[in-house]
Structure 1
Amino acid sequence: MIKVLIVDDSASVRTLFAEMFKREDDFEVVGCAEDGYSALRMVRDLKPDVVTMDVNLPDCDGFRVTRMIMEDNPVPIVIVSAIYRASDAEIGFRLIDTGALAFHNKPALKSENFEEQMQDIILSVRLMSEVRVVRRKTRFRREAINEKVVPDKVASRSESLTGKGKIVCIGASTGGPQAIKQILMSLPQGFPVPILIVQHMSDGFTKGMANWLKNHTGHDIRIASHDDELKPGVIYFAPEGVHTEISPKRRIVLTDAPNVNGIKPSASVLFNSVARNLGRSAVGVLLTGMGRDGADGLLEIRRNGGYTIAQDEESSIVFGMPGEAVKIGGAVSVLPLDSIGGELCRIFLGLLEDK
């Protein structure tokens, strides 16, 4: 049984969440805390396997509570909080820095998607309960450029990238925000190629994530718009609710096509368009995440002469997406997270130095 502690200042929300988890055969609700200090005590005494945490608590905000839990009694924490504005979403990402693993927008009871949103939360809590956490999170360092690359799994630059108009495309899901942040922090300002990112997340978080990463990394980070021309040094995030593709003329195309792999935006859709239109000029990167989205697209990039990287199992919070890519032969390289940014620097900055 997965022992879950629910932390929320609303009695009705605590009751609702408790009922939803009790419906699941593999969950046991060991407690419900209405404030931060109760949460700290219950984590210490009840030793839950996972905690759902609200941000706004009456006595002690979610930042301090999360930080204190991770310092004293580390346990996987999933943030579930109401998001109304991009600034609210940024709060969720700030919690990533204190040790939280994932976050979700608190579903409205009267929403027509309530059951679906709750099932997403339950699945996330189930997955996060298996993650091994340690005391406090270490700061990301700009040292990935010096990290060792896994030997004999890396294609040569001459074989993997040719032609003009190079591009990096990244797909991620569960655990992606932390992974993306670490990669971007290892890249220099003005990185010489555009980067496109598909990150699966709850509605309302994408703009907040872009702002959070921009503030932390200093890169030019934008939400992609239809017909944007790709520019070197700019990082584009796929917007919510639509697929993002790249045209042969290196422009962004947003489409309202059906979900792919149950997801929209889909990393597979982006990767397939990149493989089709840019081929040997592309690098595809598939990071931590549940499911298989992006795996077949990564394989297509490789088949079309591009260079592909999958995050390794040890550094992935969930090895679903990169694991599927490895299984079907979609990854040229399988690298730990702290080596991926350095590998991108070697590929692109090395090419520039050779000229």
Structure 2
Amino acid sequence: MRIGVVNDLPMAVELLRRVIASAPAHQLAWTATNGREAVEACRRDLPDLVLMDLTMPEMGGVEATRRIMAETPCPILLVTASIDANVPGVYEAMGYGALDAVDIPSVVPFEGMASNASLLLSKIATIGKLVGDSGTRRRAMPHALPASGAVRKLIAIGASAGGPAAVAAVLGGLPGDIPAALVLVQHVDEKFVPGLADWLGQHTALPVRPAQDGDRPEVGVVLVAATSNHLVFKSATELGYTSEPRDYPYRPSVDVFFESAARRWGGELFGVLLTGMGRDGARGLKTLRDAHHLTIAQDQATSAVYGMPKAAAAIGAAVDILPLNSIANRLIEACATTY
């Protein structure tokens, strides 16, 4: 991959250059010392990936991410001194389309080598797979099992790049007494899930919390996939995690969850696929539609990254293709209707 580096500290730029050079598959495309230079560099020479710092002079990483994704979209990985110290900026940048975030590797004293470069390289490799993913084969789905208990309606949401802001908009439009359980699969590092749940909770009347193994969907509660394994239904009413399939670049995978819901959930199900890079969720949404469930994909005009919903639209997976500000009302309408 050709990689652009955006950081105002020469030592950080040199460190990232060495990390990139350590992997034969990658090369440095250019460097920029602030967000304004990065926006201009992307106009001149669009790389395969941008490593974006958050705090810089003239223009920071959040605004640079917004402009790049609006003008010359490309994958952006946030790489900054401390993710924990910049949580609001991380989620804001992800809302504009950044894919993930990681602390910049530290340096081993007297050696000048990055002590945890493997984590950064792993995230770069994962993004490479996301960008190059061409879809995987579809598996046959068993018939759904009957649902039990009081929960009869389930809203299943999948999102990736740009997802936090889009999910917040959808959840913020739903009333606290929505008569459905909600499950979210958002492509995000598991270390950020508790913070994401707290952040989303500030934008909605619904309680939001990470999904634990053995949890059961609850009416009016949003459960968020919380590990790098795939969230699935282990029975008609119980959620859990599985490492299979291991070869998916998307972890957790929207496809895996949607297909699991189609297989296990026996009540009404509403599938929603929001902004994101790649194709994850498109096949799963088609599985839900084929099982006669309502399926919704975000439209191009309101998507920060029109990848996943575009893939869903291309295969006829969405019953409705809607702008972001219409999705909550459509779900409210659907939940009020008995099919």
TM-score w.r.t. the length of structure 2 is 0.73
* 2:80 corresponding residue in structure 1: 81
Cα distance in 1, alignment partners of residues 263 and 129 from structure 2: 34
CA shift for structure 1 position 256:
2.8
Say whether 1:66 aligns with 2:32.
Answer: no
Partners of 1:210 and 1:292 in 2: CA distance: 24
Structure 1 counterpart of 2:121, from 98, 105, 115:
115
State the Cα distance separating 1:174 from its structure 2 match. Answer: 1.4
Give, in angstroms, the shift of residue 196 of structure 1. Answer: 0.5
Secondary structure in 1 aligned to 2:189?
coil
Encode CA deviations 1:218-255: one digit per residue, 9 max, x unaligned.
Answer: 43000000111211111011012121112444221222
Residue aligning to 2:110: none
Aligned to 1:192: 179
How many angstroms apart in 2 are the aligned matches of 1:84 and 1:119? Answer: 20
Query: For 1:283, what is the secondary structure of its paired residue?
Result: strand
Q: Flag the 1:300–1:88 CA change in 2: closer, same or farther, 3 A.
A: same
**Which residue of structure 2 aligns with residue 235 of structure 1?**
222
- Separation of aligned partners in 1, 2:307 and 2:36: 34
Q: Find the aligned partners of 1:266 and 1:123 in 2 and give their Cα distance.
A: 13
Q: 1:89–1:204: 8 Å Cα contact kept in structure 2?
A: no
Distance 1:96 1:213, change over 3 A: same
* Worse overlay, 249-258 or 304-313: 249-258
Q: Deviations over 1:30-78 (max 9, x none)?
A: x432xxxxx367469x565487542355x79948x839x96xx988776
The equivalent position to 2:261 in structure 1, one of 236, 258, 274, is 274
- Alpha-carbon distance in structure 2 between the residues aligned to 1:79 and 1:113: 13
1:6 maps to 2:10: no
Question: Among the aligned pairs, what percent are the same residue?
Answer: 30
- Equivalent position amino acid for 1:110 in 2: S
Instruction: Determine if the alignment matches structure 1 residue 181 to structure 2 residue 168.
Output: yes
Structure 1 residue 351 and structure 2 residue 337: aligned? yes
In structure 2, relative to structure 1, the CA distance for the partners of 1:113 and 1:276 (3 Å cut) is: same
What amino acid is the match of 2:174? L
| 1:166 paired residue among 153, 156, 175 | 153
Q: Shift of residue 318 of structure 1?
A: 2.6
C-alpha spacing 1:280/1:307, structure 2 compared with 1 (3 Å): farther
Contact 1:89 1:209 in 2 (8 A): no
Alpha-carbon separation, structure 1, partners of 2:231 and 2:35: 42
Given that residues 295 and 321 in structure 1 are in contact (C-alpha distance below 8 angstroms), is that contact kept between their aligned partners in structure 2? yes
User: Which amino acid in structure 2 is aligned with residue 6 of structure 1?
Assistant: V
CA distance in 1, matches of 2:252, 2:172: 24
| 1:258 to 1:105, Cα distance in 2 relative to 1, 3 A | same
User: Could you give the per-residue CA deviations for residues 275-305 of structure 1, whole angstroms, max 9, x where no partner exists?
Assistant: 1122451111111222222222112212222
Q: Which whole-Å CA distance do the structure 1 matches of 2:247 and 2:41 have between them?
A: 39
Distance 1:169 1:54, change over 3 A: same
Q: Deviations over 1:163-219 (max 9, x none)?
A: 961101111111211211111111122322111111112342222211111123343
Residue 32 of structure 1 aligns with which residue? 32
Q: Deviation of residue 311 (structure 1)?
A: 1.6
2:271 to 270, 284, 303: 284
In structure 1, the partner of 2:325 is 338
Aligned residue in 1 for 2:91: 93
Do the aligned residues in 1 keep the contact of 2:83 with 2:102 (CA within 8 Å)?
no
**1:112-151 map, 5 Å:** 112-120=118-126
Helix, strand or coil at the partner of 2:202: helix
Unaligned segments of structure 2, at least 5 residues: 106-113, 133-149
The question of whether the paired residues in 1 share the 8 Å contact of 2:158 and 2:254 is answered with yes
Q: Any residues of structure 2 matched to 1:262-341 within 5 Å, and which?
A: 262-279=249-266, 281-341=268-328
Give 5+ residue unaligned stretches, structure 1. Answer: 34-38, 128-162
1:115 aligned partner, one-letter code = L
Q: CA deviation at 1:326?
A: 2.1
Counterpart residue type for residue 221 of structure 1? V
Corresponding residue SS for 2:289: helix
Q: In structure 2, what is the Cα distance between the partners aligned to 1:271 and 1:5?
A: 36
Of residues 90, 96, 106 in structure 1, which corresponds to 2:103? 106
Q: How many Å separate the matches in 1 of 2:185 and 2:58?
A: 34
Q: Secondary structure at the match of 2:263?
A: helix
> Secondary structure in 2 aligned to 1:282?
strand
- Mean Cα deviation higher: 18-27 or 331-340: 18-27
